Amino acid sequence: MILSDSVPKHVALIPDGNRRWAARYQKDAPFGHRKGCDIILDIVEAASDINIEYMTLYIFSTENWKRSKLEIDALMELLKHYLQRETPRMIEKGVKLSTIGVLESLPEDVKAVIEESKAKTAHCKKINLILALNYGGRSEICRAFSKIHREIEKGRLTIKDITEDTVGHYLDTADWPEPDLLIRTSGEMRISNYLLWQLSYSEFYYTDTLWPDFTPDHFYSAIDDYQKRERRLGGP
């Protein structure tokens, strides 16, 4: 049973297993990715229904550029068409779209659709959906350090000013609280260069369920498990 007074404020997700799901049905990888996209807003709505405020999904990593051009092109087209199709539903359900990562490397038409969807949902207040696109935790930390270095060169910061809070301020996620819970599907037990700084005190939940088979009931099972844990955050 979900306890309304102790739901996580922010849930991070690694929606893994699309390609293995497709292989199970003797289909190509894009088939699995399309099915995986179809359930995203179902899970976001399930989170919103229990008053989770933020959900961050690892959609395309800096390492994903190593995949075949055919699969990358299919992923980019899928992202574009997904946002075009689902933005009206996001508005209806109060889902505000945000992103982290380096969008500059994405195709121009994809970037345009992302920015359009972000603008159209900017007024939404029910839940914030944050997509990690061309994102890597190490890249993010390096970019934060570069920003801090430039601030020092301009005289806006000194070495003594650099604290954990300072670093956090220059990360992509500066506008949001750190995740309380990380969920990874498909049975893999690693974080894959995802939110390396932000997950320091997050609870981790792993499930063997492949992402296209992940349902709101699976999601609520993760929340139920989270609520049974004692979070001491380094304290006694």
For 182-228, write each residue's pLDDT tens digit: 999 999 999 999 999 999 999 999 999 999 999 999 999 999 999 99
Residue 154 included in any domain? no
Catalytic site includes residue 51? no
Q: What is the extent of the structural domain holding 183? A: 4-136+178-227
Residue 33 included in any domain? yes
Residue 106 included in any domain? yes
Which residues partner with 56 through β-bridges?
Answer: 12, 130
Identity of residue 23: A
Say which of 49, 64, 193, 213 is annotated catalytic.
64
Residue 100 included in any domain? yes
137 vs 97: CA distance, rounded Å: 20
Q: What is the per-residue pLDDT across 119-128, written as a single tens digit (0 to 9) for each? A: 999 999 999 9
Number of structural domains the chain divides into: 1
Residue 103 included in any domain? yes
Q: Of all helices (H) and strands (E), which one includes residue 214?
A: none
Mean of pLDDT values over 77-99: 97
Mean of pLDDT values over 2-31: 92
Residue 143 included in any domain? no
Residue 167 included in any domain? no
> In this predicted model, which residue has the larger pLDDT, 235 or 47?
47
Q: Shortest CA distance to 13 belongs to which of 186, 217, 234, 225?
A: 186
Q: Taking the model in full, what pTM does it have?
A: 0.94
Residue 162 included in any domain? no
| Residue position matching structure tokens 């899970």 | 43
Catalytic site includes residue 193? no
Question: What CATH number corresponds to the domain at position 45?
Answer: 3.40.1180.10
The answer to whether residues 129 and 42 touch, using CB atoms and an 8 Å cutoff, is no
